[in-house]
Amino acid sequence: MMVPTAYYLVLAAILFSIGIVSFLIRRNIITIFISIELMLNAVNLTFVAFAHMWHQVSGQIFVFFVMVVAAAEAAVGLAIIISIFRTRQTLNVDEIDLMNS
Amino acid sequence: MNPMPASYLWLIPLLPFAGFLINGTLGRKLPRAMVSAVALLFTALPTGLVAWLWVTMRADGAPDAIHIVGRPFGYDWIAISGFHVDFAFAVDHLTLIMLGVVTGVGFLIHIYSVGYMAHEEGYWRFFAYLNLFMFFMSVLVLAESFLLLFVGWEGVGLASYLLIGFYFRKTSAANAGKKAFVVNRVGDFGFLLAMLLLIVHFGSLSFAQVFAAIGQHPEWQGARFLTAIALLLVLGAAGKSAQIPLYVWLPDAMEGPTPVSALIHAATMVTAGIYMVARCHTLFDRSPIALTVVACIGASTAIFAASIGMVQHDIKRVLAYSTVSQLGYMFLACGVGAYAAGIFHLLTHAFFKGLLFLAAGSVIHALSGEQDMRKMGGLRTRIPITFWCMSAGVFAIAGIPPLAGFFSKDEILYQSFNSPNPLGKLLWFVGLVTAGMTSFYMFRLWFKTFFGKPRFEEHGDASHPAHPIHESPWVMLFPLAVLAILSVIGGWVGIPASFGGHNEIVRFLDPVFANGHAAEAAASTGHGLGIGLALISVLVALGGFYVAYLFYWKKPGTAAELAKRSPDIYTVLRNKYWVDEFYNHFLVIPLQMFTRGFVELIFERGIVNGSARIAALTTRAFAWFTRRQISGNIRSYAGWLAFGAAAVIAVMVFGRSLWGGL
């Protein structure tokens, strides 16, 4: 049985929205980081769904790129988070507001 | 000699311009000898070119007119949707005479200035301006279209302004410059409107095209739009040539250095209005009303200015009013259709009035800056060469035969007497009275300056430390001598037929004014009338001489006594009919009140400053709002990002249906 593309898209939209909302309301950097991953994977899901729908392999290849970039980003991001925690002893983003003039 | 290539025409204005650029940019650093060498070289070369051009145009088989079109950088000068103006020069016999006067007299006055300005500050500046003037004046007379003429017209106005205000540290000089500029703007307003009307009715500003169009439409005789154009042009000419009601700037223009008065405010620039009217004779001939207006303006200016000139004490002011009066004669000539006579008088006037100003400058120079005739006298033996040159000028302008002024003035009087205009006889009579007045005030000046007891301080006073009375150096005397000779013989080119001459100048100008009716009218009347009228005007001139002789030589107190006996007339004349005061009270002060009350208070402070303030406030409010957004809170940034993305998506998805495919 074929699952319609729309189902994938709705699921992706729900995942993306959860990602956005948790990005906006959570204060912990680690949680924010996880919600970014959630949004990325929601987008990946749409890529795969459309690739399947149009029988095009390029969408799936794109997903691999996104995963590679996300892995690199996770490595760099976690390193930054650790260094922030070492200097400020907190992971609450509301307290990290150096740019506020 | 080979004929001059037409493309050399460009050099006539461009050489003085080069001189202006050199002296204007480097002059401050150059030694004085170098500055004068540059200025003289770049005016001598055009003079030579004009002489060559003269030979070319006089040669057998030469065309009546040379016409060249310049295409700077390969483009037309002005070409907008069917309307077209060329950057074109044209030379015909009228232009040739004007060019001769401008470059010839201009060159002589440049020589004179080397001596006269020798001790002045800003020597380089003076010569730069003088060369700039030569440039614009050549453009003015060479122009083939109203627009290019206007370029020269404004340019000479600028040069005149700069030179009147040459001693800009003196308030009166700076004000005189401003006055000249502002009064001329009134005239230019007329000129501009005339040009717009020409564009509307002819679609062209080229002299050749406009005049050809007029020639093809005999039914336009007296047409209303031609009269309107002509009258507006007259307004422009009245501004430039100092006619009623715009003459007021010229007497004040005497604040400039004397060579400037001679060159710009006597010999050349102020005759631009007469030149323009003569150039447009085809147009004016079609409008009897405009011609009558020109004649009446000319005659009334002539007698009006002459009457003021009779009581002035400043030697240069007498000459200034005399210039206004003589320009009135030229206007009168144009107004009765005797354009050639007007140009003839323009030519001789350039000689003798240039001479008179230069000689007056020499007198002032000898007295270390004294201009008041009440403090002169007895200079005949102290500065004899100046005296003799000035005498030539005085006798010439007074109309004593056979000097230059006699023939040209007599030609004008004769033409007005014979003109078909119903006012002709009246105009002639006014001209005749003016001739008597002219003779009187010129001999008054002559007697007061050169005869009688010296009334100046021999050894100077506090303001003028001891400078012995000295004859001017040869650089000043040479131009005086040349102009004196020209003032004596210059009129012989126009000896009328009734005196057995050939009226060379009228024939010379025939190709230009061929359709003017004056020439035929002159030929048809008898010789006896010509001689009779000449006799009357000579008698009037001698009468003026005799009265001046009586007043200022025989019984020196008579004039003062006469002034005392009829104080009203004297006061009126002395105060120049209160015209300046009238303009001041009824034009200048209301205008200033309008400026201060409306323009400054409401417009400047209210609208201009107000709108600037509103713009500033808006910017600040917007900046305040934007600054609020920079909170440093990452999540608020992310929120805005998400909001923006959602908005973009919403527009992309729903926008089409909402705005109907916009």
Please, what are the domains in chain A? 27-92 (1.10.287.3510)
Mutate one of B633, B636, B649, B653 to test the A interface: name it (highest A CB count within 10 A).
B633
B188 closest CA partner among B161, B227, B151: B151
Asked if B639's CB is within 8 angstroms of A24's CB, the reply is yes
Percent of chain B with pLDDT over 70: 95
Residues of chain A neighbouring B635 (CB-CB closer than 8 A): 23-25, 93-94
Q: Looking at the complex, report in whole angstroms how far the Cα of residue B655 sits from the nearest Cα belonging to chain A.
A: 21
Q: Quick one: average pLDDT of B389-397?
A: 93
Q: What would the pLDDT profile of B565-613 be if each residue is shown by its tens digit?
A: 878 877 888 888 888 888 888 888 888 888 888 888 888 888 889 999 9
Query: What are the sequence ranges of the domains in chain B?
Result: 339-569, 575-630, 634-662
Q: Looking at the complex, report in whole angstroms how far the Cα of residue B76 sits from the nearest Cα belonging to chain A.
A: 60
- At B583, list the tokens: 């303009």
Residues of chain B neighbouring A80 (CB-CB closer than 8 A): none
| B434 vs A1, more confident | B434
Model confidence at B527, pLDDT cuts 50, 70, 90, reads low
Searching chain B, which residue's CA lies closest to the CA of residue A97?
B632
- Model pLDDT, residue B523: 52
- Model pLDDT, residue B122: 87
Q: Looking at the complex, report in whole angstroms how far the Cα of residue B639 sits from the nearest Cα belonging to chain A.
A: 6
Searching chain A, which residue's CA lies closest to the CA of residue B635?
A24
- Model pLDDT, residue A17: 93
Residues of chain A neighbouring B630 (CB-CB closer than 8 A): 99-101
Residues of chain B neighbouring A95 (CB-CB closer than 8 A): none
Q: Looking at the complex, report in whole angstroms how far the Cα of residue A56 sits from the nearest Cα belonging to chain B.
A: 25
**Nearest CB to B642 within list A20, A93, A94:** A20
- At A67, list the tokens: 């995963």
Question: What DSSP string describes B594-624?
Answer: HIIIIIIIIIIIIIIIHHHHHHHHHHHHHHH
- Model pLDDT, residue B554: 80
Q: Which three-class secondary structure state does DSSP give residue B654? A: helix
Asked if B634's CB is within 8 angstroms of A93's CB, the reply is yes
Searching chain B, which residue's CA lies closest to the CA of residue A19?
B642
Model confidence at B350, pLDDT cuts 50, 70, 90, reads very high
Average pLDDT, chain B: 87
Residues of chain B neighbouring A100 (CB-CB closer than 8 A): 630-633
- Model pLDDT, residue B639: 87
Q: Which residue has the tokens 């300056």?
A: B449
CA dihedral B465, B470, B475, B480 (to 10 degrees): 120
Q: Which three-class secondary structure state does DSSP give residue B69? A: strand
Asked if B642's CB is within 8 angstroms of A93's CB, the reply is no
Asked if B632's CB is within 8 angstroms of A97's CB, the reply is yes
Contacts of A93 (CB under 8 A, 6+ apart): A27, A28, A29, A32, B633, B634, B635
Residues of chain A neighbouring B638 (CB-CB closer than 8 A): 23-24
Asked if B630's CB is within 8 angstroms of A99's CB, the reply is yes
Please name the helix (run of DSSP H) or strand (run of DSSP E) that holds residue B90, with its range, or none: strand B87-91
Q: Looking at the complex, report in whole angstroms how far the Cα of residue B177 sits from the nearest Cα belonging to chain A.
A: 59
Distances from the Cα of B93 to the Cα of B68, B96, B178, B276, angstroms: 15, 5, 35, 14
- pLDDT of B127 > 70? The answer is yes
- At B506, list the tokens: 């009228």
- Other Cβ atoms less than 10 A from the Cβ of B190: the count is 19
Distance of CA B465 to the CA centre of its chain: 36
Q: Looking at the complex, report in whole angstroms how far the Cα of residue B125 sits from the nearest Cα belonging to chain A.
A: 58
**Nearest CB to B632 within list A20, A24, A100:** A100
| B484 vs B380, more confident | B484
Residues of chain B neighbouring A98 (CB-CB closer than 8 A): 632
Q: What would the pLDDT profile of B417-428 be if each residue is shown by its tens digit?
A: 888 888 888 999
Q: Looking at the complex, report in whole angstroms how far the Cα of residue A59 sits from the nearest Cα belonging to chain B.
A: 21
Searching chain B, which residue's CA lies closest to the CA of residue A26?
B635
- Do the Cβ atoms of B509 and B343 come closer than 8 Å? yes
- Model pLDDT, residue B526: 60
- pLDDT of B634 > 80? The answer is no
**Nearest CB to B631 within list A23, A24, A100:** A100
**Nearest CB to A98 within list B627, B632, B638:** B632
Q: What would the pLDDT profile of B140-179 be if each residue is shown by its tens digit?
A: 999 999 999 999 999 999 999 999 999 988 999 999 999 9
- Model pLDDT, residue B516: 47
Please name the helix (run of DSSP H) or strand (run of DSSP E) that holds residue B79, with its range, or none: strand B78-80
Q: What would the pLDDT profile of B42-64 be if each residue is shown by its tens digit?
A: 999 999 999 999 888 888 777 77
Residues of chain A neighbouring B631 (CB-CB closer than 8 A): 97, 100
Searching chain A, which residue's CA lies closest to the CA of residue B629?
A100
Residues of chain B neighbouring A93 (CB-CB closer than 8 A): 633-635
- Model pLDDT, residue B419: 84
Distances from the Cα of B440 to the Cα of B308, B427, B567, angstroms: 12, 20, 19
- Do the Cβ atoms of B448 and B373 come closer than 8 Å? yes
Distance CA B272, CA B238 (A): 10
Asked if A100's CB is within 8 angstroms of B630's CB, the reply is yes
Searching chain B, which residue's CA lies closest to the CA of residue A17?
B642
Chain A interface with B: residues with Cβ < 8 Å = 20, 23-25, 93-94, 96-101
- Do the Cβ atoms of B348 and B491 come closer than 8 Å? yes
Strand B83-85 relative to strand B78-80: parallel, antiparallel, unpaired?
antiparallel
Q: Quick one: average pLDDT of A33-57?
A: 93
Q: What would the pLDDT profile of B61-78 be if each residue is shown by its tens digit?
A: 777 788 888 877 777 888
Distance CA B351, CA A74 (A): 98
- pLDDT of A74 > 60? The answer is yes
Q: Which three-class secondary structure state does DSSP give residue B60? A: coil
Residues of chain B neighbouring A16 (CB-CB closer than 8 A): none
Model confidence at A86, pLDDT cuts 50, 70, 90, reads very high
Residues of chain B neighbouring A101 (CB-CB closer than 8 A): 627, 630, 632
Amino acid type, B197: L
- Do the Cβ atoms of B9 and B101 come closer than 8 Å? no
What sign does the dihedral B30-B33-B37-B43 (CA atoms) show? positive
Mutate one of B628, B629, B631, B634 to test the A interface: name it (highest A CB count within 10 A).
B634
- Model pLDDT, residue B525: 56
Residue B403 DSSP class? S
- pLDDT of B218 > 90? The answer is no
Report the complex ipTM.
0.80
Searching chain A, which residue's CA lies closest to the CA of residue B632?
A100
Chain B interface with A: residues with Cβ < 8 Å = 627, 630-635, 638-639, 642
Q: What would the pLDDT profile of B500-514 be if each residue is shown by its tens digit?
A: 777 788 888 877 887
Distance CA B528, CA B471 (A): 46
